[in-house]
Amino acid sequence: MAFYVVQFLTGLASAASLFLVASGLSIIFGVTRIVNFAHGAFYMIGAYIAFTLTERLSGAFGFWGSIVLAALAVAMIGVIVEMVLLRRIYHAPELFQLLATFGLTLMVEDLVVLIWGPDDLVGRRAPGFRGAIDFFGQNIPSYDLFLIVLGPVVLGILWLLFQRTRWGVLVRAATQDRDMVAALGVNQKWLFTSVFAVGVFLAALGGALQIPRDAVHHAMDLRIIVEVFVVVVIGGLGSIVGAFVAAVLVSELNAFGILIFPKISIILVFLVMAVVLIVRPWGLFGKPEAAARKTPGLTVNPWRPLTSNERLAAVAALVVAAMLPLFAGNYLLTVGSEIAIFVIFAVSLHFLMSVGGLASFGHAAYFGLGAYGIAFLAKMAGLPMIVCLLLGPLLGCMGAAVFGFFAVQLSGVYFAMLTLAFAQIVWSIAFQWVSVTGGDNGILGLWPSSWAASPSHFYWLALGVAALVTVALRAMVFSPFGYALRATRDSLLRSEAVGINAKRIQWTAFVIAGTTAGIGGALFAYLKGSVFPDNLGISLSVDALVMVLLGGVETVSGAVIGAIVYKALNIWLVSQTDLSKLVLGGFIMLIVVVFPKGIVGMLEMLAQRRRKSSPPGSPLLAKPIESAE
């Protein structure tokens, strides 16, 4: 019995650590709607700075002072980031801030190694909380007890802050309806900055408090960020109490789950999230999101099919790309194939995100399923390459059909997180089912048949498929189905009122996007000759998001450019420098500030501005003439 009590308390201590970080994320999201990918980075910087300070300052006051000082210092960094970076892009399309915080995270990961060195750092234990307390023969670390008390205390302070201060009232009001708060004359700038500072403070405090039990190292951020997001979503976005309950739920399920299934930790949080979201679409304590009052930027710049001239330009670009084998060597051709494959992957997500308005955080699942489809067909059934390429993506299609059915019942960030949960479940199956998938050692030896083996042939294959897929998806955007899908995106209510079965349309779009991603994955398996669980992983899903956002989420085919730029740059930087993350992160942040609508979005806007500023009539009149030519 004593054991179960102690295990329960241990779970509570884990929950407290998780809650501190999650509460900050929840507050930031609730008010600013920023999906703060850098939250883990702030957590990590908090730990690093606290490590440095605790090594310098001695004594009990030195230790606890250092923890608080570190959290304050990081909160200051957060303020600077908010003012210099995020403030510029609040009006950018939804999720664009994710790109900025992703860039920041990349930079921080390299910066901490440059500043603090590559070794794992082990900090001091907390003065007064070094030992353990005996509980009927079981030891409970006193630091755990401290955390168990701290969690509810922080919850209480936050509750008081939100319920009993004017600032708190404003924060709650903004969480419910920030447009209304702005309309009532509240200075949103400072409200957002202060909220961001508080959120970052909590993240850094959470990191600093890990010093006595953890090692400080450069991958701490990734270890926590996804888990924290999950906790926030399970609890319900913007709900602090929800975050607390979710943290306790997840930690306790883990603490007791490992007694029965020792391998459960790897997937537990995602399982819990999937179940919770299917049963309660807005998390445990969340409320349905108020209908967006946005006038979408989309209506300002209506989508149109390419003009003849633009079509010619696209064909010319394709011809030029197809001539690459005439002068490029094998390496460049293979890189070209990889980029073409990522174009397929990116446009598939783009279709779902910008046409359907459904941002998936787990799109790699269908890419990876396509790749595993190839692996099963080629290695187990021994089918020839052409058959595999036709059938392999079907696995992605099936996955998308099953998961999409559940996912499209939700919307917004809940949709995104449910797709992430599904992707992680698929990933963990690939990772754990060693006898079938080979586990993390993957499936090897999937090289293409001789007709496609040479780099130039494979390049043409990949390029051809990429072009076909892009054209097909574009055609779909301007088909009746595409219009229906856009209608569900722009106004669910109105689209349903005119008789569109929104869920079915969205589900179909999900399956189309998943199958297309599967095609990309199938080609990728042949390009690399192997399949690994990585192909289903979070980092690949994030890559796809970054490509779409970089290209411009409000464009018809911006993802093509986004994929080319991001992938080419990534491959080149990784090859040229060990600090690729630092440079790439800096580049992304620069793009975010300079091109707040993405690369293609910005180009389109410039083109339109020029059209408007030029003498009225001429370009508009010129267009039909051009088409007639």
Partner 1 sequence: MRARNYFVGAAFALLAGGMAHSALAQDIKIGEINSYSLLPAFTEPYRKGWQLAVEEINAAGGINGKKLVVISKDDGGKPADAQTAANELVSSEGVAMLAGTFLSNIGLAVSDFANQKKVFFLAAEPLTDAITWSKGNKYTFRLRPSNYMQAAMLVEAAAKLPAKRWATIAPNYEYGQSAVAVFKKLMSEKRPDIQWVDEQWPPQGKIDAGPVVQAVAAANPEAILNVTFGADLVKLVREGNTRGLFKGREVVSFLTGEPEYLDPLKDETPEGWIVTGYPWYSIKTPEHDAFLKAYQAKYNDYPRLGSIVGYQTIKSAAAILAKAGSTDPEKLIAAAEGLSMPSPFGEITFRKIDHQSTLGAYVGKTALKDGKGVMVDSSYKKGADYLPSDAEVAKLRPKD
Cα separation, 246 vs 273, whole angstroms: 9
Instruction: Name the segment binding partner 1 (CB under 8 A); options: 60-68, 260-268, 468-476, 620-628.
Output: 260-268
Contact between 6 and partner 1 (CB under 8 A)? yes
Return the number of the residue (97 or 530) whose C-beta is nearest partner 1: 530
Give me the least distance between CB of 331 and partner 1, in Å please: 4
Return the number of the residue (301 or 432) whose C-beta is nearest partner 1: 432
Instruction: Name the segment binding partner 1 (CB under 8 A); options: 81-89, 175-183, 232-240, 534-542.
Output: 534-542
Give me the least distance between CB of 286 and partner 1, in Å please: 25
In whole angstroms, what separates CA 411 from the centre of its chain? 15
Residues 235/241, Cβ–Cβ less than 8 Å = yes
Provide the sign of the torsion angle of the four alpha carbons 231, 233, 238, 241, taken in this order: negative
Q: Which one, of 413, 41, 10, 426, lies nearest residue 229 by Cα?
A: 413
Give me the least distance between CB of 276 and partner 1, in Å please: 20
Cα-based distances in Å from 141 to 29, 123, 132, 152: 34, 17, 4, 18
Return the number of the residue (110 or 554) whose C-beta is nearest partner 1: 110
Q: Which residues pair with 570 in a beta bridge?
A: none
Which residue in this structure is represented by tokens 């004593």? 2
Quick one: which of 68, 72, 138, 586 contacts partner 1 (CB under 8 A)?
138
Q: 140 to 169, contacts with partner 1 by CB under 8 A?
A: 140-141, 143-144
Quick one: which of 7, 176, 301, 491 contacts partner 1 (CB under 8 A)?
7
Q: 205 to 234, contacts with partner 1 by CB under 8 A?
A: 212-215, 217-220, 223, 227
Q: What is the DSSP letter of 86?
A: G
Residues 386/232, Cβ–Cβ less than 8 Å = no
Residues 548/558, Cβ–Cβ less than 8 Å = yes
Return the number of the residue (266 or 402) whose C-beta is nearest partner 1: 266
Return the number of the residue (563 or 600) whose C-beta is nearest partner 1: 563
Quick one: which of 187, 330, 618, 627 contacts partner 1 (CB under 8 A)?
330
Return the number of the residue (367 or 406) whose C-beta is nearest partner 1: 367
Give me the least distance between CB of 275 and partner 1, in Å please: 20
Contact between 535 and partner 1 (CB under 8 A)? yes
Quick one: which of 70, 335, 407, 413 contacts partner 1 (CB under 8 A)?
335
Quick one: which of 262, 302, 480, 615 contacts partner 1 (CB under 8 A)?
262
Quick one: which of 180, 574, 590, 621 contacts partner 1 (CB under 8 A)?
574
CA 38-251-235 angle, 5° bins: 60
Count of residues interacting with partner 1 (CB under 8 A): 77
Quick one: which of 69, 79, 121, 150 contacts partner 1 (CB under 8 A)?
121
Q: What is the DSSP letter of 206?
A: H
Return the number of the residue (11 or 514) whose C-beta is nearest partner 1: 11
Cα separation, 40 vs 45, whole angstroms: 9
Question: Tokens standing for 561?
Answer: 């450019």
Cα separation, 64 vs 73, whole angstroms: 14
Residues 283/410, Cβ–Cβ less than 8 Å = no
Provide the sign of the torsion angle of the four alpha carbons 473, 419, 542, 202, taken in this order: positive
Quick one: which of 289, 490, 496, 534 contacts partner 1 (CB under 8 A)?
534
Q: Which helix (H) or strand (E) holds 215?
A: strand 215-216
Cα separation, 10 vs 145, whole angstroms: 9
Cα separation, 179 vs 177, whole angstroms: 6
Residues 479/469, Cβ–Cβ less than 8 Å = no
Question: Tokens standing for 126?
Answer: 């907390």
Instruction: Name the segment binding partner 1 (CB under 8 A); options: 187-195, 362-370, 403-411, 524-532.
Output: 524-532
Return the number of the residue (413 or 443) whose C-beta is nearest partner 1: 443
Contact between 289 and partner 1 (CB under 8 A)? no
Instruction: Name the segment binding partner 1 (CB under 8 A); options: 82-90, 254-262, 502-510, 608-616.
Output: 254-262
Contact between 501 and partner 1 (CB under 8 A)? no
Return the number of the residue (263 or 294) whose C-beta is nearest partner 1: 263
Return the number of the residue (442 or 562) whose C-beta is nearest partner 1: 442
Q: 338 to 377, contacts with partner 1 by CB under 8 A?
A: 338
Which residue in this structure is represented by tokens 């939700």? 410
Cα-based distances in Å from 523 to 46, 314, 334, 448, 612: 42, 23, 12, 9, 43
Quick one: which of 68, 132, 394, 487 contacts partner 1 (CB under 8 A)?
132
CA 407-408-410 angle, 5° bins: 80
Cα separation, 629 vs 625, whole angstroms: 6
Residues 544/291, Cβ–Cβ less than 8 Å = no
Contact between 324 and partner 1 (CB under 8 A)? no
Cα-based distances in Å from 471 to 136, 317, 468: 70, 14, 5
Contact between 626 and partner 1 (CB under 8 A)? no
Contact between 258 and partner 1 (CB under 8 A)? yes
Amino acid in position 25: L
Return the number of the residue (29 or 524) whose C-beta is nearest partner 1: 524
Give me the least distance between CB of 3 and partner 1, in Å please: 5
Phi, psi of 133 (to 5 degrees): -110, 135
Cα separation, 363 vs 536, whole angstroms: 8
Instruction: Name the segment binding partner 1 (CB under 8 A); options: 201-209, 272-280, 302-310, 522-530.
Output: 522-530
Which residue in this structure is represented by tokens 């908090």? 46
Contact between 263 and partner 1 (CB under 8 A)? yes
Contact between 251 and partner 1 (CB under 8 A)? yes
Q: 576 to 605, contacts with partner 1 by CB under 8 A?
A: 576-581
Give me the least distance between CB of 431 and partner 1, in Å please: 7
Q: 449 to 468, contacts with partner 1 by CB under 8 A?
A: 455
CA 58-59-63 angle, 5° bins: 75
Q: 413 to 452, contacts with partner 1 by CB under 8 A?
A: 431-432, 434, 439-442, 444-445, 447
Instruction: Name the segment binding partner 1 (CB under 8 A); options: 129-137, 149-157, 296-304, 394-402.
Output: 129-137
Which residue in this structure is represented by tokens 């046409």? 355
Instruction: Name the segment binding partner 1 (CB under 8 A); options: 131-139, 281-289, 316-324, 417-425.
Output: 131-139
Q: Which helix (H) or strand (E) holds 59?
A: helix 59-84
Instruction: Name the segment binding partner 1 (CB under 8 A); options: 334-342, 353-361, 476-484, 555-563.
Output: 334-342
